[in-house]
Amino acid sequence: MDILEVKDLTVTIQGKPILKNLNFSLKEGASHILFGPNGSGKSTLIGALLGLPSYEIASGKIFFMGQDITSKSADERAKLGIVASFQNPPEIAGVKLGDLLKLFLGKTPEEDFSPEEQKLIEAFRLTSFLDRDINVGFSGGERKRSEILQLIFLKGKLLLLDEPDSGVDVESLKLIASQLQRYIEQTGSTALLITHKGDIMDYIKAKYGCILLNGAFHCFTDPVSMYRDIKNYGYEECVACRRRKTGGWNFEQRK
Ligand SMILES: Nc1ncnc2c1ncn2[C@@H]1O[C@H](COP(=O)(O)OP(=O)(O)OP(=O)(O)O)[C@@H](O)[C@H]1O
Ligand SMILES: [Mg+2]
């Protein structure tokens, strides 16, 4: 079953079209790795799926678990289970990381974390960050660790992960990605993970590899060999070759 279906989606930013007539769907319970050149619109797509106000849906529809969510607000979509980690997590001065994590867990600021929650915060090496304002003065990798922990505590059904591995050291990558994989396995949730590198696939077991290229979304199986082909032959040839091999089968044409 498809958890997400995007039909003829056109997204504009300040009136300028960034994505035009995009069509694709995501399989429930599967992890999808999304590749694509810089500027191809990957982060824009995530913003539009989240319903962030600066991404205007000029036309088309988004269905989540069979429900048309195109006109739903970001809040409503988050409550349905669409959650994300950002490529450039913003600073939120005046809000403590610990308080935000408690909010995500449904706790008041006065309540304590459970021993299990404390263990996870410790594993993410964020215990000493709980009293700090979110991302203020955090290093690049610390921001990413904090983003992924927030995402796990949010308990979403569809995880949109915008370059969770960028600027992250090898040990932190192992930590972030294996915790994500554990969450995905335990909850059966679906992931769309954007990356420019292959290392994260050592930990995230992804069935599908997708490429956003020239305004079209192409999905095929085996993201590991796709990444190798992209490195060797480029995005265009990777898509063209897979279309030839699969007789043109992909997510767009499957119906
Ligand atoms: N606020 C904005 N105003 C004008 N153009 C924008 C704005 N935000 C994004 N764009 C443009 O939209 C295009 C897609 O940007 P986006 O950030 O979605 O790319 P991306 O695929 O995530 O790239 P990267 O791999 O570098 O993160 C780019 O050409 C970018 O310059
Ligand atoms: Mg981006």
pLDDT value, residue 254: 44
Distance CA 178, CA 123 (A): 11
Distance between CA atoms of residues 199 and 82, nearest Å: 25
Give me the pLDDT at residue 236, please.
Answer: 95
Phi-psi group of 117: left, alpha or beta (phi > 0 → left; psi -120 to 50 → alpha; rest → beta) = alpha
- pLDDT score, position 246: 74
Residue with CA at minimum distance from ligand 1 atom 29: 39
Q: How far apart are CA 138 and CA 114, in angstroms?
A: 25
Q: Which of 127, 104, 100, 7 is nearest to 57 (CA)?
A: 7
Question: Using a 6 Å cutoff on CB, does residue 39 contact ligand 1?
Answer: yes
Q: Left if phi > 0, otherwise alpha if psi is -120 to 50, otherwise beta: which for 96?
A: beta
Q: Where are the domains of the chain?
A: 2-91+159-170+189-245
Residue-level pLDDT at 250 = 55
- Give me the pLDDT at residue 158, please: 98
In a 13 Å sphere around the CA of 165, the CA atoms on its Cβ side amount to: 21
The finding on whether 232 has its CB within 6 A of some atom of ligand 1 is no
113-128: per-residue pLDDT in tens? 999 999 999 999 999 9
If you take atom 9 of ligand 1, which residue's CA is the nearest one?
Answer: 44
**Regions of the chain short of the pLDDT cut 70:** 247-255
Residues whose CB is less than 8 angstroms from the CB of residue 245 and which lie 6 or more positions away in sequence, other chains included = none
CB 219 within 8 A of CB 210: yes
Give the integer Cα–Cα distance in Å for 211 and 248: 15
Please write the tens of the pLDDT for every residue from 82-118: 999 999 999 999 999 999 999 999 999 999 999 999 9
At residue 201, φ and ψ (nearest 5 deg) are -75, -5
Ligand 1 midpoint to CA 198 (Å): 22
Pocket-testing residue among 9, 11, 13, ligand 1, by greatest number of atoms within 8 A of Cβ = 13
Helices (H), the chain: 42-50, 74-80, 97-104, 115-123, 140-154, 170-187, 223-233, 235-245
Q: Is 87 in the pocket of ligand 1 (CB under 6 A)?
A: yes
The verdict on pTM exceeding 0.75 is yes
Cα–Cα distance measured from residue 176 to residue 37, given in angstroms and rounded to the nearest whole number: 24
Which pair of tokens denotes residue 22?
């995009």
How much distance in Å is there from the Cα of 216 to the middle of ligand 1? 15
Calculate how far, in angstroms, residue 50's C-alpha sits from the geometric centre of ligand 2. Answer: 14
CATH level 3 topology of 2-91+159-170+189-245: Rossmann fold (3.40.50)
Atom in ligand 1 nearest the alpha carbon of residue 163: 27
Q: Is 40 in the pocket of ligand 1 (CB under 6 A)?
A: yes
CA-based R_g, the chain, Å: 18
3 state SS for 82-111: EEEECCCCCCEEEEEHHHHHHHHCCCCCCC
